[in-house]
Amino acid sequence: MKLEAAIFDLDGTLLDSMPIWQGLGENYLLQKKLQPALGLQDALKKMSLQQAAQHFQAAYGLHEAEETILSEIAMLIADFYRYEVPLKAGVAEYLQQLQAQNVKMCIATATERNLAESALERLDIRKYFSTILTSSEVKVGKEDPLIYQRALEQLGAPATKTVVFEDALHAIETATAAGFRVVGVYDETAAQDKERIKALTEQYIYSFSDWKG
């Protein structure tokens, strides 16, 4: 079946950026002289930055406004996106191939827009995507399928001819439960979930040169 549209996650799928997120929450709290709880990193994996800020307020008693927390977190990672984060293997070539086949593409990410835009522009792949949707803008994280549903609406393609590319188990569980076709993308940070991801997705790839669609 000919592919008409593709919805791409950003971190861990197109960008090799997950290392910066490892320990980000802990580092932020330590800067505030607060002791991170055990398991914080796992909990934050399922949250947008906005949700993380709300969690820090509720669980750690931060008195800063949500916007201030988001700004402080963003400052910790902005330079990484602006100057350093690389593409994962085969991404540029695959996006170029899809464009040549007139496949419509968009980004659905938990990352804030300014960070996503800066990395995509520097890496010269922003041109491939008609739109970027962020969890903060749709007001829910990827435990809810809304971001994928909004992406599908904007792409204007049937779900049967649209594929979602994701690396994280919780996002893949959400998308498949909502009836989306999903391709799992390997990332080292989700290696422990590989077998579960394989069971849920129609294909599991280690790089975009492996995708057969």
**Tens of pLDDT, residues 6-56:** 999 999 999 999 877 777 899 899 989 999 998 898 888 778 888 999 999
pLDDT at 1: 58
pTM of the model as a whole: 0.81
Give me the architecture of the 5-17+86-210 domain, per CATH: 3-Layer(aba) Sandwich (3.40)
Report, as an integer, the average pLDDT of 138-155.
96
pLDDT at 36: 93
pLDDT at 21: 74
pLDDT at 186: 96
Q: Are 165 and 9 in contact (CB under 8 A)?
A: yes
Q: Are 6 and 103 in contact (CB under 8 A)?
A: yes
* Cα angle 130-106-132, degrees, rounded to a multiple of 5: 80
pLDDT at 182: 97
Greatest Cα pair distance in the chain? 55
For the chain, the structural domain boundaries read 5-17+86-210, 19-84
pLDDT at 45: 78
Report, as an integer, the average pLDDT of 94-118.
95
